Structure 1
Amino acid sequence: MDHGGHGTNMELPPFTLGRGLEFTGEPFFLVGCLLALGLYAAAVVRLRGRGDGWPVMRTVAWVLGVLTVGLAMCTGLNEYGMVLFSVHMVQHMVISMLSPILLLLGAPVTLTLRALPSAGRGRKGPRELLVALLHGRLLRVTTHPAFTIPLFIASLYGLYFSPLFDFLMGSTTGHRAMMVHFLLVGLVFFWPIMGVDPGPHRPGHLMRMLELFAGMPFHAFFGIALMMASEPMIATYAHPSPSLRVSALSDQTAAGGIAWAFSEIPSVLVLIALVFQWHNSEQRQARRLDRAADRDGEKELAAYNAYLASLQARGQ
Structure 2
Amino acid sequence: MPLHGHTAGSSLLEWLLPALVLPAAAGAYLLLAHRARRRNPALGWSPWRTTGFLTGSALLGAALLPPVAPFAHEDFRGHMAQHMLIGMYAPLAFVLAAPVTLLLRTLPAARGRQLTAVLHSPPARVIAHPAVALALSTASLAVLYFTPLYNAIMSNPAAHWLLHAHFLLSGCLFAHAIAGPDPAPYRPGVRARLVYLGVAIAAHAVISQMMYGGFWVDIHAPVSQVQAGAEIMYYGGDVAELLLAAALVATWRPEPRRSATRDSASARETATATRVGEQGAA
The two structures share one fold, judged by TM-score above 0.5: yes
User: How many residues align structurally?
Assistant: 252
Indicate conservation of the 8 Å contact 2:146/2:217, yes or no.
no
TM-score, normalisation: structure 2: 0.81
Q: Percent of aligned pairs with the same residue?
A: 32
TM-score, normalisation: structure 1: 0.73
Deviation at 1:25, TM superposition (A): 7.6
What's the counterpart of residue 51 of structure 2?
A: 60
What's the counterpart of residue 44 of structure 1?
A: 33
Deviation at 1:30, TM superposition (A): 2.3
Distance 1:116 1:157 in 2: 40
Distance 2:165 2:23 in 1: 16
**Change beyond 3 A, Cα 1:8–1:202:** same
* 1:114 to 2:88 alignment: no
* 1:140 to 2:125 alignment: yes
**Change beyond 3 A, Cα 1:10–1:254:** farther
What's the counterpart of residue 86 of structure 1?
A: 77
* 1:216 to 2:201 alignment: yes
Deviation at 1:146, TM superposition (A): 3.0
**Change beyond 3 A, Cα 1:194–1:257:** same
Q: Deviations over 1:261-298 (max 9, x none)?
A: 122112211222222233xx35x979xx9xxxxxxxxx
Gaps of 5+ in 2: 261-282
Give 1:106's aligned amino acid: A
Gaps of 5+ in 1: 12-22, 120-124, 238-247, 290-316
* Larger mean Cα displacement after TM superposition, 60-69 or 26-35: 26-35
Distance 1:9 1:179 in 2: 17
* 1:181 to 2:202 alignment: no
Indicate conservation of the 8 Å contact 1:155/1:182, yes or no.
no
Distance 2:216 2:46 in 1: 50
What's the counterpart of residue 256 of structure 1?
A: 230
Give 2:99's aligned amino acid: P
Larger Rg: 1
Find the partner of 1:266 among 207, 224, 240: 240
Deviation at 1:145, TM superposition (A): 2.7
Find the partner of 1:225 among 182, 185, 210: 210
**Change beyond 3 A, Cα 1:275–1:94:** same
* 1:206 to 2:191 alignment: yes
* 1:101 to 2:86 alignment: no
Distance 2:132 2:88 in 1: 17
User: What secondary structure sits across from 1:26 in the alignment?
Assistant: helix
Indicate conservation of the 8 Å contact 2:49/2:97, yes or no.
yes
* Larger mean Cα displacement after TM superposition, 74-83 or 194-203: 194-203
User: What secondary structure sits across from 2:183 in the alignment?
Assistant: coil
Give 1:85's aligned amino acid: F
Give 1:267's aligned amino acid: E
Deviation at 1:153, TM superposition (A): 2.9
Distance 2:192 2:28 in 1: 33
Deviation at 1:204, TM superposition (A): 2.3
User: What secondary structure sits across from 2:109 in the alignment?
Assistant: coil
Give 1:45's aligned amino acid: H
Map 1:2-21 → 2, pairs under 5 A: 6-7=3-4
Distance 1:139 1:186 in 2: 16
Distance 1:56 1:202 in 2: 26
User: What secondary structure sits across from 1:75 in the alignment?
Assistant: coil
Q: Deviations over 1:11-31 (max 9, x none)?
A: 9xxxxxxxxxxx998122223
Cα RMSD over matched residues?
2.7
Indicate conservation of the 8 Å contact 1:61/1:103, yes or no.
yes
User: What secondary structure sits across from 1:263 in the alignment?
Assistant: helix
**Change beyond 3 A, Cα 1:66–1:145:** same
